[in-house]
Amino acid sequence: MKVAFKMKLKPGFSEEYKKRHDQIWPELSELLTENGVTDYTIFLDEETNDIFAVQKLMGQGSQDLGQTEIVQKWWAYMADIMETNPDNSPLSNPLKTVFHLD
């Protein structure tokens, strides 16, 4: 199953987002892989600062792993450059699939 959701980056932080993501990615990708995420792509719309994430799931998605230490660390690390909920999780909206091609 594939899921997609939209998040929002604060203006002027696209390079910082990439830098921080690269720094935490090794431990985060290990957790995601262990929990059934087999494909994860993030896109940035530089005009609107919208971030679009697409995951192929065989188990839990990244949003379902919010109680793990690594995801808590990720959320806290990104909280000052993204729009977030009070628990530092990114504000996110699930996106509806309109078309799909395998």
From 21, 44, 60, 75, active-site residue = 21
Determine whether 21 is an active site residue: yes
Distance CA 41, CA 57 (A): 12
State the helix-helix crossing angle for 69-78 and 14-34, rounded to 10 degrees: 170
Q: Please, are residues 84 and 92 in contact by the beta-carbon 8 Å criterion?
A: no
Catalytic residues: 21
